[in-house]
Structure 1
Amino acid sequence: MTRCTKLPLSSCLLYRTAMAEAATQATVGNSEFDRDTAITRREDGVYDVELSAGWTIIHAVNGGYLLALMGRALGDALPHPDPFSVSAHYLTASQPGPAVIRTQTVRTGRTLSTGQASLFQYEEDGTEVERIRVLATYGDLDSLPDDVRTSAEPPAIPPLEHCLGPADGQPSIPGSSAITERLDIKLDPATVGWAIGAPSGKGEMRGWFGLADGRDADPLSLLLTVDALPPTSFELGLSGWTPTVELTTHIRCRPAPGPLRVSITTRNLAGGFLEEDADVWDSADRLVAQSRQLAKAPRGQ
C-alpha cells in the first residue's frame, strides 16, 4: 500500500490520483530506468552495457545515471545486495553507445563487502578510454537496526501543486535535455530564480523528485536521484555544463513508496570549482540518501 501520510494532504491526493491514472505504471525491475541500466555478464567481473541517449544532458551522459549503472554491476559482482557508500571519479565525459564495466572484489566480510569498478568506452581508432572509476561498499539495508538519532530535518518544500516543472516555462537547456523527459521534477519556486533571469545567489536547489513512468525509488535509483536536479550553480548566476569531478553517495535506508524530496546546497565556489551537498528524503520523512560532489563551475555568466 502506498504510504504518504507524512506528506501535505494536497500532495498526497495529487500523488494518489496520478497513481490511479497510471494503469500501466512502471515497477522496480520493469521500467525504462531498469532497462537502460541493464548489464550483460560477459565473464566474471566483466559486463557489457549500452549507455542510453535518453539520459543525456547538454552533451554528455548524466553522472547519476552512470553511477546507477556502475552500482548495478557491483551489486551483481559482490555478495551483498545494497550500496551503502559509493565514491566515483569522473575521468572523461561518457557518450551514448556501447561500453564495458570491469569490476574487482577488494574485500568481503560478514556484513559488508567492498569492490571497485571502471567503465570504458572506445574511440574511433579502437583506443580504450576509462570514463569513470568507482570504489564502493555494499551491505544489506534490511539488516540494519531501527535506531535513529538525528538532528537532520526534511526540507521545507511547498506542496507539489505549488512547485514548478518544465511545463511551467523553465528555459530550454542548450544541447540535449533528454533526461528531463524521464524525470518528474517539481522545483521549489524559491530556487528557480535562474529560470527568469533573477537567480537568488544562495546556491540552493530543492524539489520533489520521481521517475516519469511512476517507478518507485529503490537503493539503486537513489544513485541517480542525488545528481538529477539542475545544478546549484544556476542559482549562483552561472549557466552551462557543470561537470562532476567526484561524487560520493551514502544510501541510508530503503525508501518508502512515493515521491522523494531533494535538497542541494553549495556553500563555496572558489578556484573554478564548487561542492554540492544533497539530502534525499522519502514519503515517511526518513533521510534515505546523502551525497557530496565536487564539480567544475560553468564558464557562463
Structure 2
Amino acid sequence: MAPGTTGTTGTIGDSEFDRDTAISANGPGGGYDAHLHPGWTVFGALNGGYLLALLARALRDALPHPDPFTVTAHYLSASRPGPAAIRVEPLRTGRSLSTGQARLLQRAEDGTETERVRVLAAYGDLAALPDDVRTIATPPPLPPYEECRGLLDPGPAMAVPVPELVHRLDYRLDPATTGWMTGRPSGRGEIRAWYGLADGRAPDPLSLLLAVDSLPPTAFEYGVTGVVPTVELTAHIRHRPAPGPLRILKTSRNLAGGYMEEDAEVWDSRDRLVAQSRQLARPSL
C-alpha cells in the first residue's frame, strides 16, 4: 500500500483494530468485559500498545472528555489471549481535564484473578486546544515508502522470527535501521518507519497508543534478539492525526543493568508531532 493511501481507506469503527478492542459494560460501577485477540500477540503475549488502546477505550467510555492526553501503564504480568475484565475508576473531573484509572484482569482456571495492567490517565478535548506551536522537533528523515522494507516482504532470511502482530500492521522500515533483520545491527538504537494499520483504518488518538509500541524494539539494533517486555509506558497524545501515513521514530540511548529506555515520536501526514512516548523495557539478553 503506497504512503498516499495508508490509513485513508478504512473506516473508524469498522476495522480489525476496533473490533479487537471492543468492550462491553457489565453493569454499574465501571466494569467492562473484553476479549484479548490473539492477532495482537508477540510470541504469545499481548502487545503493550494494543492493551494500552483497549484500556484507553474503557476510560473514554467512563470519563466525560473524549481524548487521551496522557496515559501511563504499568505492566504487572503478561496478558494472554482470551476473556478479560476491565475496571475503571474516575478520580477527578474538571472543565478541561478528567482523570481516571483502569485495571485489566484475567481469571485463571481455578477462579483467581490476576491483574495484568494498571493505567492512570488524563483525558481532554484535543479539538479545543489552541493552534499555537513552538517547537524545535522535526519529522524523522525517511526514504520514500517504496524504498523501505516490511517484515513480510520477500528478501534475505530474517535473523529474528516475525510475531503475529506484524500481520495487523502496514509499516515499512528505513533500511538504515534494519541491520538487525540480517544479523548486522548498527548499535545505534534507532528505528524509523512509515506506519499504518493493515486494513487502512485512518489513525485516531486511540490507534496512536498502539503506534507508539508496535514497531520492532530499538533493542534489536543493539544486537538483542529476544523479547523486550515493557515494564512501564507513558504516552502523550498531542493532536488528532490527519488521514494518511504516519511516520515513527523510536530511539534508545541507554541499555544498562538489564533495562533500557525507549522514546517514540509519531508524526502525521501534515508534519505534526501527534504522539510521544517513553517506556522502560527489560530485554531478554
TM-score (norm 1): 0.91
C-alpha separation between the residues in 2 aligned to 1:140 and 1:131?
28
Note the 1:1-301 alignment, pairs <5 A: 14-16=2-4, 25-44=9-28, 45-166=30-151, 167-169=153-155, 171=158, 173-174=160-161, 177-299=163-285
* Cα distance between partner residues in 2 of 1:17 and 1:143: 28
Give the Cα separation in 1 of the matches to 2:63 and 2:140. Answer: 34
Q: What is the alpha-carbon distance in structure 2 between the residues aligned to residue 59 and residue 51 of structure 1?
A: 12
TM-score by length of 2: 0.96
Mark the CA change 1:185 to 1:16 in structure 2 (over 3 Å): closer, same or farther: closer
Question: Can you list the C-alpha shifts for 1:139-192, whole angstroms capped at 9, x where unaligned?
Answer: 000000000000000000111011001214362754x72111110010000100
Q: Which runs of 5+ in 1 are unaligned?
A: 1-10
Q: Which amino acid aligns with 2:3?
A: Y
Aligned counterparts of 1:124 and 1:209: Cα–Cα separation in 2: 38
Contact 2:5-2:245 at 8 Å conserved across structures:
no
Structure 1 position 15, deviation (Å): 3.4
Which residue identity does 1:262 align to in structure 2? I
CA distance in 2, matches of 1:137, 1:89: 15
Question: Is the 1:58–1:173 Cα contact (8 Å) retained in structure 2?
Answer: no
Compare the two structures and name the one with the higher helix fraction: 1
Asked whether the equivalents of residues 6 and 197 of structure 2 are also in contact (C-alpha less than 8 Å), the reply is: no
Q: Give distance in 2, aligned partners of 1:147 and 1:40.
A: 38
The offset of 1:99, in angstroms, is: 0.2
Separation of aligned partners in 2, 1:71 and 1:193: 34
Deviation per residue, 1:83-127 (Å, 9 max, x gap): 000000000000000000000011000010000000000112111
The CA distance in 2 between the partners of 1:168 and 1:217, in whole Å, is 27
Specify the SS of the correspondent of 1:43.
Answer: coil
Q: d(CA) in 2 for partners of 1:15 and 1:91? A: 37
Residue identity matched to 2:178? V
Relative distance call for 1:18 and 1:257 in structure 2 (3 A) is closer
Distance in structure 2 (CA, Å) of the matches to 1:186 and 1:17: 14
- Off by >6 Å, runs of 4+ in structure 1: none
Q: How many residues end up aligned between the 2 structures?
A: 282
Q: Tell me, which stretches of 5 or more residues in structure 2 are unaligned?
A: none
Query: What is the alpha-carbon distance in structure 1 between the residues aligned to residue 189 and residue 201 of structure 2?
Result: 29
- Is this contact kept in 1: 2:160–2:181, CA < 8 A? no
Which whole-Å CA distance do the structure 2 matches of 1:266 and 1:18 have between them? 27
Query: Percentage identity across aligned positions?
Result: 64
Give the RMSD, CA atoms, in angstroms.
Answer: 1.6
CA 1:17/1:39 → structure 2, altered by over 3 Å: closer, same or farther?
A: closer
Q: Sort the Cα spacing of 1:143 and 1:210 in 2 relative to 1 into closer, same or farther, 3 A.
A: same
